[in-house]
Structure 1
Amino acid sequence: MISSLYARFLVLMVGGLISSFLLSNYLWYTVLESKRLAQGREMARDMAFSVGSTMEFIRAYPTEYRHIILNQFRDMGGSRYLVSINKKFINIDPFIDSDLKREFIDNFLAAIEEKLGQRLEGLSVEFADPTELRVYKNDIRLVDLPPRWAQNTLIREPESAPVLVAQVLVGEGEWLYLAGLLSDPYYLNESRYLGADQLLFLSIMLVVLLAISWVLVRWLTRPLVKLSRAARRLGTDIEYDIRSLQIEGTREVRETAMAFNFMQERVVRFIEDRERMFSAISHDLKTPITRLRLRSELMDDSDTKRKMIGDLEELESMARGALDLGKSTDIHEGMHAININQLMRTFKDEYKLMGAEIEIRGIAKRPYFGKPLALKRCISNLINNAVFYGKSLRLDVVDSRAEMKIYIVDQGPGIPEEQLDKVFEPYVRLEGSRNRNTGGAGLGLSIARNIAHAHGGRLTLRNRIGSGLEAAVILPRI
């Protein structure tokens, strides 16, 4: 399936040219064939009337005078045909058989019957190559005769036309033999819908068209390529230097570029406003929480004091988690080439100190272009969840030309199927305890998914057969 607009333009242009060429060639071929058939019918009729007249003239004289008349024909040019009376039927090596040849002979027989007013029994009509034509006897060829004996009439240089030979029995032991050239030496040549000349012309035209189309289509699609790159960059790295697209190209492309510039400005303003809002919330919440903590320290009731301090710590943890969630896609970090293999080894060494065993399978074929700290945080959150349910896990790296896949596989109990999507929501924790010291605030998966989305990728969860959970971070390669 052709997915590139550039390739589709080329296919449409080349396909349209080939189709129009084949159609026009077919129409041209049809018209020529129609004219050729009409010409053949006219030639057959003219030759039939001429041969018929010669036959009538010869048959009108007694047998003893016919040879005198034939000598006059030969010496004085009384006929444009080679005419002879032979004692036997001359075997003719037939010309190459074709539909055109058979139709010509049928038209000739019909016309000569019309001319003579009767059907001649035993009339034989055939085409022959003049260089192989036999005359007078079966062992005498035309080319062996003196030039004045009709060679100049039936043989033409450089390419002679086929010879029409008609033989009919005019008396006992007498065969009237007439041979004449077609007026068109190429009439019986096989015509092709696509001959060598047409194919050569088509090939040259295709090469020229491809060269012109390559330049033209690249010029037409250049604004679309720029738009595609800008959209991809905006979706994967919102921190990059935002620049408005140049308004160029066709009207539709210009309108699309203008809409993209407007959308890009609104997205950037929204993110900046959200960042300022979260910063303000962080600043505004710290002051009242600090005051409440100081007041709680002045309380005498130790049990009430302990509960209030616990609630304040929970509130502070939730506020900090909300800020982290809001800023998980706003890490002010540039895009860099990340050594995924080195990152996996770092995880293995760090968590080994915590008593967790990590097995690494697969390697990245080349660095991944992304935000190093954000990506490390994304995978760390997933590893923390896996370590929470078991001391061993596996990291699978699957690299391809289009995307990078990192699988975090644990040996825990898994997640109920109906909860697989819900766990990505903020503050959702599967265990019943609300103690943040054991299970956190329930924001790790939400933050991890936001970071994956910020890279243009996705995060999915899947229960393994038997036991365990598989988290897949799928990141596109830019």
Structure 2
Amino acid sequence: MMLLWRRSLAARFLTLVLFALALSQAITFLISWDERGQALHSAAKGEFVSRTSSLALLLDTTPPSLRPDILDVSGTVYTRFWTSRDGPSDPLAWQKEAFAQLSKPLPGVAGKYAAALNGQASTGVDSADPSVSPRMLDVSTNGVGPFTRPAKFLYMNAAPNGMGLSVRLDDGTWLNAAYAKAIPNAFWTSQSAMSLGLTALILSAIAIFGAQAIARPLRRLANAAELFGRGETVPRLPESGPDDIRLTAEAFNRMQERLQRFVEDRTRMLAAISHDLRTPLTSLRLRAEFVQDHELQEKMLKTIEEIQTMTEAALSYAREDAAVEATRTVDLSALVGSLCDDLAELGQNVTVSEGPKVLYRCRPDSLRRAIRNLVENAVRYGEHATVSVVRKPDSLDIVVKDGGPGIPTADMEQVFAPFFRLEQSRNRETGGVGLGLSIARAIARHHGGDILLENRTKGLRAIIRLPRIDMTKQVAPAPAPEVPEPAGLRTLPI
């Protein structure tokens, strides 16, 4: 349940709505329960007094011999009637008599129905304490209520909601009536439970619909941010809905456009600078040819060649960065295997560990170049390379191992800097220009991953760690835009 609460917006929204419903119902119950109890008590009292008054009038007009039968048939489950010669001068004694009358079974009823009624009749007095004195009130004969004769009303405090009434008849005898019925807790009935359940069901449906309406654009934003962080061009998010969601979508669209413009401008500038360096390099090479000192000429030509190599590498990097490759789903294991086979055919000591089919959405040409750079470094500095694809719960690792000397811990981060080389000479036979790891890390980070370097007991382990994504939840990427080559960028002979 806690996991669902942490991960699901709909679950949180639904829980809060149901909690608000329960709290509002509880507050309403507490406020209205006392009024309800008073209303039920007032209604029961009015019916009891009216019934007793009518029965007193009936007894005054009938022969005394019929009174016992009339009193018997007038009794109800919670009410009993009897006559006495004297009025309730002793309230406690009258209350005891009332309890005794209420405990008697109803006459003329037999069988299971009688047992049920008798059980209900005694319900109001089972928990009564006969020692608790009732409160007796005199009902005046000035026309208050339905009485125009002496009458006394008693509140039987010993019984729940207990009431008693004594009315003097015309012949001087007294009609006594007793009522005892606990007000049931009728708040939680099957009808109220059904009503509350139906209300909760309707509110739950509304809450789930509302939560989904809120979560849907948030999921779309998260998917778009994930794709954009992996270097893909995503379609503009719909700028609609409530102000908060609409403003968020607008901000994301503006951010994406600004970042794309920034990357394009930086790439074009780098490509233009690298291209423009070709002309002075060509001029320097031509002038070096006229130098008479052969030793000096050789040094100048080596320096020019070194600058040319770095320029070509930078220009190649800029061109590849400017070319936007379409993202597609490939078998990662097959991609790594085919690359290693190609390098092995070229005479490099490369082995690959066979693994299961791993589908992954990426830019395969770029990723292939990153893996190739790591493998070539492993062969160059560690004499051999062992490559494998490892599945992890939250990532896919492309692991390249070698048996070389490794990298000093202090230089683990520095080796990713452009043009940095552990091998200090600029001899291309012993090392490249220092862009291989930089390019590989840039490609990995464009895919939302990174490159990790770890020294082993003998050798180095280089890992391209790519994030695992649920491709079924990804929004469709927008078509890759055409990035024009910078003006004047053309190949010049050197």
Match of 1:232 in 2: 226
CA distance in 2 between counterparts of 1:180 and 1:252 reads 70
Which residue matches 1:391? 383
Q: Which residue does 1:290 correspond to in 2? A: 282
Separation (CA, whole Å) in 2 of partners of 1:40 and 1:197: 18
The question of whether the paired residues in 1 share the 8 Å contact of 2:14 and 2:208 is answered with no
Deviations along 1:151-192, one digit per CA (max 9) or x if unpaired, are 8xx959xx9665556999xxxxxxxxxx988575xx465657
Is the Cα–Cα contact under 8 Å of residues 124 and 180 in structure 2 kept in the other structure? no
Cα distance change of structure 1 residues 350 and 235 upon mapping to structure 2, 3 Å threshold: same
Judge conservation of contact 2:268–2:318 (CA < 8 Å) in 1: no
Which of 323, 330, 340 aligns to 1:338? It is: 330
Q: In 2, distance between residues paired with 1:266 and 1:27?
A: 53
1:472 and 2:446 correspond: no
Q: Is the 8 A contact 1:299 1:305 kept in 2?
A: yes
Kept in 2, the 8 Å contact 1:363–1:399? The answer is no
Partner of 1:268: 260
Offset of 1:379 from its aligned partner?
0.8
Question: How does 1:50-449 map onto structure 2 within 5 Å?
Answer: 74-77=68-71, 80=75, 81=80, 116=90, 143-144=109-110, 162=122, 164=124, 187=182, 189=184, 196-238=190-232, 240=233, 244-327=236-319, 329-353=321-345, 354-360=347-353, 362-365=355-358, 367-399=359-391, 403-449=395-441
Report the CA distance between 1:82 and its aligned residue.
Answer: 6.3
Distance 1:317 1:198, change over 3 A: farther
Q: Deviations over 1:325-344 (max 9, x none)?
A: 44554333211222212112
Using the size of structure 2 for normalisation, the TM-score is 0.66
The equivalent residue for 2:156 is none
Q: Aligned-pair distance for 1:425? A: 0.9
Instruction: List per-residue Cα deviations over 1:341-390 (Å, max 9, x = no partner).
Output: 2112113312323241423154343x211111100001111111222233
Q: Which moved more, 1:221-230 or 1:408-417?
A: 221-230
Q: Does 2:23 match 1:23?
A: yes
Give TM-score scaled by structure 1 length.
Answer: 0.68
Between the aligned partners of 2:360 and 2:279, the Cα distance in structure 1 is 42
- Cα distance change of structure 1 residues 213 and 24 upon mapping to structure 2, 3 Å threshold: closer
Inter-CA distance 279–222: structure 2 relative to 1 (3 Å threshold): same
Q: Work out the CA distance in 1 between the residues paired with 2:24 and 2:91.
A: 44
CA contact (8 A) 2:125 2:180 kept: no
Q: Helix, strand or coil for the counterpart of 2:404?
A: coil
The number of residues matched between the two structures is 398
Who is 1:88 aligned against?
A: none
Contact 1:336-1:371 within 8 A present in 2 as well: yes
One-letter code of the match for 2:299? Answer: K
Counterpart position of 2:487: none
Q: Percent identity?
A: 31
Q: Distance in 1 between matches of 2:41 and 2:95?
A: 22
Query: Per the alignment, do residues 243 and 30 of structure 1 end up closer, same or farther by CA in structure 2, a change over 3 Å counting?
Result: closer
Unaligned runs of 5+ in 2: 50-63, 131-175, 475-494
How far, CA to CA, are the matches of 2:354 and 2:192 in structure 1? 60
Residue pair 1:235, 1:455 contacting (<8 A) in 2 also: yes
| Unaligned ranges ≥5, structure 1 | 50-68, 86-113, 136-140, 169-178
1:290 and 1:229, CA in 2 relative to 1: closer, same or farther beyond 3 A?
Answer: same
Residues of 1 paired with 2:41 and 2:245: CA distance? 60
Cα offset, 1:427, TM superposition: 1.8
- For 1:273 and 1:473, locate their aligned partners in 2 and report how far apart those are by CA, in whole Å: 28
Distance across 2 between alignment mates of 1:383 and 1:226: 37
Structure 1 Cα separation of the partners of residues 387 and 177 of structure 2: 92
- Report the alpha carbon displacement of residue 467 of structure 1 after superposing the two structures with TM: 3.1
Deviates more, 1:117-126 or 1:320-329: 117-126
SS at match of 2:322: coil
Contact kept in structure 2, 1:162 and 1:181, CA below 8 Å: no
Q: Distance in 2 between matches of 1:402 and 1:395?
A: 20
**3-state DSSP class of the match of 1:143?**
coil
